[in-house]
Amino acid sequence: MERDNVFRFIALELLKQTAATALIIVSAFSKGGGINNTYTDHVSILKFIERNWNLKPLTGRSRDNLPNPVSHKDNVYVPQNSPAIGDLFDMFDFDYDNGRGQGDLHGEK
């Protein structure tokens, strides 16, 4: 019975890696105007929150501990340092204030 659970876990992990989910970012701070090919998944939102507010990962074994992907210009879809998951920061420009007088996500200049 234990062996069946291991195979189910492996099958679910493979499914997570192959199923694509689109993420549309609507923000005054998004770079916009294009498609970002950085490998991300639902954990990327957690990684974004942890990085932006200087929080520690949930546990030492959770997927938010994986590094950000490093892509080669010849194949942007496959990280060279796999397994890796992006933290969404490359999709934003927090230095851009859009004429509103705000300098970063927290409104500090």
Tell me the average pLDDT across 13-41: 76
Say what the pLDDT of residue 49 is.
Answer: 93
Residue 14 lies in a domain: no
Residue 106 lies in a domain: yes
> How far from the centroid of its chain's Cα atoms is residue 19's Cα?
15
Say what the pLDDT of residue 105 is.
Answer: 53
Q: How far apart are CA 84 and CA 70, in angstroms?
A: 8
Domain that holds residue 89: 24-109
Residue 7 lies in a domain: no
> How many domains does the chain fold into?
1
Residue 19 lies in a domain: no
**What does the DSSP 8-state code read for residue 83?**
S
Residue 61 lies in a domain: yes
Q: What is the pTM of this model?
A: 0.64
The token pair at 82 is 């796999």
Residue 4 lies in a domain: no
Residue 54 lies in a domain: yes
Residue 42 lies in a domain: yes
